[in-house]
Amino acid sequence: MKKLSFIAWLTMKAICTCAFCITPLVSCNTKNANTFADSGRTQPTENLLANLKALGDSVGYMFGHHDDVLYGIGWVGDSARSDVKSVCGDYPALLSFDLGHLELGDTVSLDGVSFNRIREEIVRHFERGGMITLSWHLNNPLTGGTAWINDSTGEHQLNTVEAVLEGGKQHERFLTWLDRVAEFLNSLQTADGVRVPVLFRPWHEHTGSWFWWGQELCSAEQYKALWKLTTDRLKEQGVVNALYAYSPGTENGGNPQKYMERYPGDNIIDLLGLDCYCFAPSGDADAVAKYAQMLDTQLGMVCKLAKQHSKAVALTETGYEGIKTAKWWTHTLMPVLDKHPISYVLVWRNAHDKPGHFFAPYPGHSSAPDFVEFYNHPKSLFLHNVNGLYQAK
């Protein structure tokens, strides 16, 4: 019932504000799909950005899930399957994937999925009208280790960022890593040659010190230079379909100066994000309430900054591992999201091979009925609510 009335409402919104055209996506594919905006990016990429900015302010927030269509609880590699869809009947509006190990020239990602499959799912989701975001848990080019800092090998003492910047001893190697990412982004095309716009979100959670690009492992200037090197190189390699997201963690404690301390600049970043998780391993109500409060403070700050800088804004990663309270979706997450003009909320993956490591419900999970309520909420947008993401307003 709700979906019918909601679509009517969305249509009205489209008529009133022209924010979201309900014409099918194909019309975008055939007409000005590969025309370019002044920025040098494709027009649909710029349209996506404009629509992201408008979304939060008007209709609501898209729901996203990492690796949603690749695997879930009790399955891996099935076709057209999604735990989210199995629970509520619709795909997430936003799908997220990770490029970790692409830099090595591997054919399979750090989470065991082939990059060919990831590419196929990206194109398929674009053709369904949905949005795609990409993270990158790349290895450490200095030590050969993972993206995560290994304390026992003394990695905390090393400055890998310095080593990959110009003049550093891993600079050349790092350029080849960036070129592999560029090649992948450039390969994201439909059969008709339409480039698929994506939101790229490298160097995330840099305010913590668990990745080699983290707070205590490089200076602010080096971190900003890393961003500039990345975006310059991707552009040089012909990438015209990427938007860029900045997504610190919550370590700033709600202080906007601290949030912006390592901001690479308005000319580089398109979307201000936030990675903020609910840590309550045994379902402790106080810990859950504390998360809601922190999320509220943080989103208030990030949304204000996004307005000041004319950027899109999103909750780029969140979730409650194992979702230990059955009403978490409508009692904890939703009331906070409703207060802030974000364009999307993304929850992390449902690992098929790591028991308990899941952030979206699956059929039979105790929070599944509550997730359906969240799905039925007018402000939460799933795939069928977002036609027109790549079209001009």
Are the C-beta atoms of 75 and 357 separated by less than 8 Å?
A: no
Q: How far is the CB of 211 from ligand BMA (least distance, A)?
A: 11
For residue 242, count other CB atoms closer than 10 A to its CB: 23
| Closer residue to ligand BMA in complex, CB, 102/306 | 102
Q: Which is nearer to ligand BMA, 216 or 353 (CB)?
A: 353
Q: Which 3 state secondary structure label does DSSP give 66?
A: strand
Q: How far apart are CA 44 and CA 327, in angstroms?
A: 37
Q: How far is CA 310 from CA 133, 166, 173, 266, 270, in A?
A: 20, 31, 35, 9, 9
Q: In angstroms, what is the minimal distance from the CB of 235 to ligand BMA?
A: 26
Task: Show the beta-strand stretches assigned E in the chain.
Answer: 61-66, 71-72, 75-76, 94-98, 131-135, 198-201, 242-246, 271-272, 275-278, 312-313, 315-320, 344-347, 380-381
Shortest Cβ 155–ligand BMA spacing (Å): 17
Helices H / strands E in the chain, number of each: 12, 13
Q: Any bridge partners for residue 62, and if so which?
A: 344, 381
The one-letter code for the residue type at 171 is H
Q: Which residues bind ligand BMA (CB under 6 A)?
A: 98, 100, 110-111, 137, 348-349, 354
User: Residue 338 CB, nearest distance to ligand BMA (Å)?
Assistant: 26
Give the span between the Cα atoms of 159 and 217, in whole angstroms. Answer: 6
CA pseudo-torsion sign 184, 32, 390, 268: positive
Q: Which is nearer to ligand BMA, 46 or 67 (CB)?
A: 67
We find the least distance from the C-beta atom of residue 147 to ligand BMA, in angstroms, to be 8
Q: In angstroms, what is the minimal distance from the CB of 172 to ligand BMA?
A: 26
In angstroms, give the least distance from the CB of 261 to ligand BMA: 24
Residue closer to ligand BMA by CB (options 324, 349) is 349
Between 13 and 137, name the residue whose CB sits nearer to ligand BMA.
Answer: 137
Q: Chain-centre distance of CA 117, in angstroms?
A: 18
With respect to ligand BMA, which residue has the nearer C-beta, 137 or 331? 137
Which of residues 53 and 66 has its CB atom nearest to ligand BMA in the complex?
66
Give φ, ψ of 320 to 5 degrees.
Answer: -130, 110
End-to-end CA distance of the chain: 28
CB of 57 to ligand BMA, least distance (A): 30
Give me the torsion for CA of 215, 266, 198, 186, rounded to 10°. Answer: -100
Taking the least distance from each CB to ligand BMA, the nearer of 97 and 263 is 97
